[in-house]
Amino acid sequence: MTDRLKKILLGEQGLVVIFIVAFALVSLLVPNFLTDRNMLGLLQSVVTVGIVACTMMFCLAARDFDLSVGSIVAFAGMVAVMASNTTGSILLGLVAAIACGAVVGWVNGVVIAKFRINALITTLATMQIVRGMALISSDGRAVGINSPDFYQLALSKLLGIPTPIWVLAVLFAIFGFVLNSTVFGKNTLAIGGNPEASRLAGVNVDRTRIWIFTLQGVVCGIAGILLASRITSGQPNAAVGLELSVISACVLGGVSLAGGRATMSGVIVGVLIMGIAENAMNLLNIPAFYQYIVRGVILLLAVLLDNLRSSALGRR
């Protein structure tokens, strides 16, 4: 009995099993949890983390790291609002925001891949630079959205489900496909497994890494736009600490910080576990201060589980 339980928990799908059990338990024990409204609210709350986790997964899988995502999300939100306010065109605002995200990501990628600066240091620097740019561009104040159509991005619904959730689902699908079924995805995992061997096997390592960071920037741009739309303004102080939530979710989802190991299903589960924990604690009126402790404990447990799983698979 215990052997079988061990096998299930430590197997490939162990995290999914744990997630299902946790979900069932929370549904039974927490009142009002399993309602349409709460489910949509839960999904809405993980949109930003979930979207950014898609590309953070690639970053970590390639043995890299990106701390600048929170700043890019805030900056892209500011750009989207300010550009659409001044030009009067929402589309132009969105394009500008995504372009800005892409440029920051590309700069990260070039510095890391071509100039061989450690990713942690590089993105620690851009994190501060970009946050500074967001603050300067609005003189530190929030900028309200002029056109009500902009709100509609976050408020509109399709088949009763808010647009941001659709965006999240589509990105999950796209990046899941990219990771498993494209040369880019496989190269990412190979680089994380052994960068030098990948280079000698003909993989264009530098280009792949630059692409990973550029995509990360694009995706942060999208997340920034949706966030700005939801909070009806560009906030230079938005998404502070986002990078840590995103990396936590990825690690929860079994992405190895040593590189070479990642699955989209794992990351989705990681994102949802974080969301459920927060949601359930809110429903139970647990004060925010305690929530930090619970989140930290969940992360530690997940990493311990991952460690057990690795040694069960006989890998070091």
Partner 1 sequence: MSFLEFSNISKTYPGVRALSGVSFGVEKGAVHGLMGENGAGKSTLIKILSGDQHADAGEISIDGKVQAYASTRDAFDNGVIVIHQELQLVPELTVAENLSLGRFPASAGVIARRRMLDDVGDKLKSAGIDIDMRRKIKTLSIGERQMVEIAKAVMLDARVIALDEPTSSLSSRESEVLFKLIDRLRGEGKVIIYVSHRLDEVFRLCDSLTVLRDGKLAAHHTSLKDVTRDKVVAEMVGREISDIWGFRPRKAGDVRLKVDGLSGARLRAPASFEARAGEIVGFFGLIGAGRSELMRLVFGADPRSGGTIAVDGKAVAAASPHDAIRAGVVLCSEDRKHDGIIQGRSIEENINISSRRHHTRFGVLSRVSEIATAETFIKKLKVRTPSRRQDIINLSGGNQQKVILGRWLSEQGIRVLIVDEPTRGIDVGAKSEIYELLYQLAEDGMAIVVVSSELPEVMGICDRILVMCGGRISAEFARDQFAERAILAAALPDKKTPDAIAS
For residue 62, give every residue at least 6 positions away whose Cβ sits within 8 Å of its Cβ, in sequence order, or none.
188, 189, 191, 192, 208, 209, 212, 259
Binding-site ranges for partner 1 (CB under 8 A)? 181-184, 186-187, 189-190, 192-194, 196-204, 256, 260-261, 313-315
Judge whether 175 and 57 are in contact, CB under 8 Å: yes
To which H or E segment does residue 227 belong?
helix 205-230
In terms of CB distance, is 133 or 171 closer to partner 1? 171
| Nearer CB in complex with partner 1: 161/199 | 199
Give the type of residue at 285.
N
Quick one: DSSP state of residue 235?
A: -
Q: Which long-range contacts link 279-282 to residues 24+ away (Cβ below 8 Å)?
A: 279/33, 279/38, 279/41, 279/42, 279/45, 280/26, 280/30, 280/33
Query: Nearer Cβ to partner 1, position 77 or 254?
Result: 254
Provide the minimum distance between the beta carbon of 313 and partner 1 in the complex, in angstroms, as a whole number.
7
Minimum CB distance to partner 1 smaller for 41 or for 193: 193
3-state DSSP call for residue 144?
strand
* Residue type present at position 163: T
End-to-end CA, the chain: 27
* Rg value, the chain, Cα: 20
Least Å distance, CB 308 to partner 1, is 15
Identify which of residues 143 and 203 has a Cβ nearer to partner 1 in the complex.
203
Residue 247 C-beta: closest distance to partner 1, Å: 19
Between 199 and 282, CB nearer to partner 1: 199
Q: Of the two residues 24 and 200, which places its CB atom closer to partner 1 in the complex?
A: 200
In 3D, which of 68, 49, 26, 65 has the Cα closest to residue 249? Answer: 49
**Closer Cβ to partner 1, 8 or 25, answer by number:** 8
Which residues have C-beta within 8 Å of that of residue 248, sequence separation ≥ 6? 270, 274, 295, 299
Using alpha carbons, list the distances in angstroms from residue 159 to 162, 163, 192, 204. 8, 10, 40, 43
Smallest separation (angstroms) from partner 1 to the CB of 108: 22
Closest contact distance (angstroms) between CB of 314 and partner 1 is 6
Nearest-approach distance from CB 181 to partner 1, in angstroms: 5
